[in-house]
Chain A
Amino acid sequence: MSQAAIYVMAAAAVIGAGVYGLLVGGHLLRKLLAINLLGSGVFLLLVALAGRSGGAPDPVPQALVITGIVVAVSMTAFALALLDRLFRETGQARMDVADDDD
């Protein structure tokens, strides 16, 4: 088994963990962590696939991933602001509570 194959499988599993957390996580902060994991998994997949031929990986996916890391962190900051406002308006930071209003 090659190095790239190991990381491709790890990336698939991390993406799976991210999807699971995004769907099942009750707390919104947990969902945010899951989205970040999902992103990291995709980054790992891109670079691991680009490095399959051995040697330094393709620079194009690397540049994409650097852009992606910065976008992910700004997304996280925005989502945290959204979460804070939501919590101030509703007193809830979770998705799995019953809506009493309906």
Chain B
Amino acid sequence: MSLALDGLLAIALVVLALQVVAGASLFRGIVMFVVFGLVMALAWARLRAPNLALAEAAIGAGISGALLMLGYRRLRAAGPEATRPGPRSSRLAAPLSLLVAGLVASLGWTALGLPEALGAAGAAVVAAMPSQAVANPVTAVLLVFRGYDTLLELAVLLVALAGARAVEGPAGPAELATPTMTGLPIVGALLAALVPLSVLVAGYLVHAGGNAPGGAFQGGAVLAAAGVLLVLTGRLVPHPVPGPVERWGAVLGLLVFSALGLVMLARGQGMLSMPGAWAIYLVESAMLVSIATTLVLLLGAAPGLRRGPLP
């Protein structure tokens, strides 16, 4: 029974992926991609990786879908020509699909034939867990054992934000009008319930990340989702000049993490080593703020955001 479930999930993933790349309309491709994210979360759940299921749920269901939908709307606003998906069949399609089938076969063959002794690092992590301040091995890897990765990832987020500002040019993309529908009272009720709740859940996820699935990435994505909702409903509007909240929010994670790393280096311990659970929570909270701010600014496609006029 459980293998049937896995098999069906796998088939669903493959069919959805094919629909995303080969479907007739772009909009359908985007909806299919969002559904693909949902099914991925189920696959992570089946693979006993709830940390990943949380991240996929927060990012795949919330942020990615909204980003792509907004990108589509920006193109769509210029006329139907801009989102025309192109000719149904390219001359290259048939030979390329043969090549890709070969790639899939060889990839699958190689991957299935790999020896199982890949878990050396994981075994070391699990063995070292009792001496750590946190009990969730994934959080431990992210912050204690591979802190460099996480630090550089914050840098990647910041670079993406700066890069997006740079390519958008001084004018920025044309503003999308907030649909009048978002002024409906029911949307206000949704915001009144969801925004405080997402702050609570984000805090809960960071707190839980110490010894259960959760962590700063998942929490940051949830917090960002609340911001995204505020942008989409016109409660926050783009502004050409970033305020202090945006400026400091975007760099806070990187600043706190590097400062802590340098302090530890100066005190003669390893760079980026964590002096205790409080340091992990401090860094995670700063990361939470940075991830949320950056994602919201990326979606808002503007240097800053201001409170919008209430509809």
Within the complex, are A and B direct neighbours (CB within 8 Å)? yes
CB distance from B122 to the nearest CB of A (A): 3
Cα distance A65–B7 when bound, in Å? Answer: 22
Chain B residue contacts of A47, Cβ below 8 A:
44, 47, 49, 52
- The B contact surface, by secondary structure, is helix
Task: Give the contacts of A1-42 with B (CB-CB under 8 A).
Answer: 1, 3, 5-21, 23-27, 29-30, 32-34, 36-37, 40-41
Chain A residue contacts of B181, Cβ below 8 A:
none
Q: Report, as a range, how many residues of chain B touch the other chain.
A: 35 or more
Task: Give the contacts of B244-289 with A (CB-CB under 8 A).
Answer: none
Q: Is the CB of B82 within 8 A of A87?
A: yes
Cα distance A99–B275 when bound, in Å? Answer: 59
Chain A residue contacts of B64, Cβ below 8 A:
36, 73, 76
- The A contact surface, by secondary structure, is helix
Query: Which of A37, A43, A51 contacts B20, CB < 8 Å?
Result: A37
Supposing A8-B111, A76-B64 touch, asked if A51 and B48 sit within 8 A by C-beta, the answer is yes
Supposing A29-B75, A37-B17, A78-B164 touch, asked if A53 and B141 sit within 8 A by C-beta, the answer is no
Cα distance A37–B173 when bound, in Å? Answer: 26
Supposing A62-B49, A66-B142, A70-B59 touch, asked if A19 and B168 sit within 8 A by C-beta, the answer is no
Chain B residue contacts of A10, Cβ below 8 A:
9-11, 13-14, 43
Q: Report, as a range, how many residues of chain A touch the other chain.
A: 35 or more
Cα distance A58–B120 when bound, in Å? Answer: 9
Nearest neighbor of B117 in chain A, beta-carbon distance: A53
What residues of chain B have their CB less than 8 Å away from a CB belonging to chain A? 2-3, 6-7, 9-11, 13-14, 17-18, 20-22, 26, 29-30, 33, 36, 40, 43-44, 46-49, 51-52, 55-56, 59-60, 63-64, 67-68, 70-72, 74-75, 78, 82-87, 90, 92-93, 96-97, 100-101, 103-105, 107-108, 111-112, 114, 116, 118-119, 121-122, 125-126, 137-138, 140-142, 146, 149-150, 153, 156-157, 160-161, 163-164, 167-169, 173, 215, 217, 221, 291, 294-295, 298-299, 301
What residues of chain A have their CB less than 8 Å away from a CB belonging to chain B? 1, 3, 5-21, 23-27, 29-30, 32-34, 36-37, 40-41, 43-45, 47-53, 55-67, 69-71, 73-78, 80-85, 87-88, 93-94, 96
Q: List 8 A-B contacts (CB under 8 A).
A: A5-B112, A14-B13, A16-B103, A16-B107, A17-B14, A29-B72, A69-B60, A71-B153
Beyond the given pairs A7-B6, A47-B49, 20 more chain A to chain B contacts, judged by CB atoms under 8 angstroms and listed by A's residue number, are: A1-B3, A6-B3, A13-B108, A16-B103, A18-B21, A21-B21, A24-B90, A29-B71, A37-B17, A43-B52, A52-B116, A53-B119, A57-B48, A60-B125, A66-B55, A69-B56, A74-B157, A85-B173, A93-B75, A94-B86
